[in-house]
Amino acid sequence: MREIVVATKNQGKMREIKSLLEDLGFRVTSLADYPDAPNIVEDGKTFAQNAIKKAVTIAFYTKKLVMGEDSGIEIKALNNRPGIFSARYAGENATDRKNNLKLLRELKNVPFKKRQARYRCFIALADTKGFLKVVSGSCLGLIEKRHRGKNGFGYDPLFFIPRYNKTFGELDPAIKAQISHRARALQKAKKVLQEY
């Protein structure tokens, strides 16, 4: 069975990616399976640059097909921050809770209708033979004024989807798996992997 290594240690991301790729017939592993893999500094200026760096670095380390992924949230009222700094918005080793609280503080005086947000995901697929493809997906919503729901991770309890009148934190994971930024990017990545 062919292996694809997902260049992440984030178990939340890994669960989502694994379930969305399970019908392709790849054995899906992560950096948890490669404890000696090099640590990747996410110093790109864009999500795409970070995704490519992860994919290429780990491909050369494992000599396998690798998926690098970088994603985050952009808030219109904050000039698209936190963006590429989403995971470390409240500091280098920030927890989801600390990041969420910082976001709520920064948006304290912003009315709900002006809290437009966009989750974005970029996926890079690379091997050591020169194969490199990048795809992306996004999902639009609003930032809630308080935490709602226990599902998901990251900013999910704050990311409100008007169509469902729920946050990602409240949404059924099966629905999120169809409409999220990561799901949309992974659908495109699946087409690339089928051709690969």
List of residues 6+ apart from 69 with CB closer than 8 A = 6, 7, 8, 13, 17, 51, 54, 121, 122, 123, 124, 182, 185
Q: How far apart are CA 103 and CA 98, in angstroms?
A: 9
Residue 175 and residue 135 in contact, taking contact as beta carbons nearer than 8 Å: no
For residue 91, CA distances in Å to 47, 97, 124 come to 18, 12, 26
> Is 43 tagged catalytic?
no
Q: Which of 23, 70, 127, 172 is catalytic?
A: 70
Task: Specify burial of residue 8 (Cβ count, 10 A radius: 0-12, 13-18, 19+).
Answer: buried
Cite the active site residues.
70
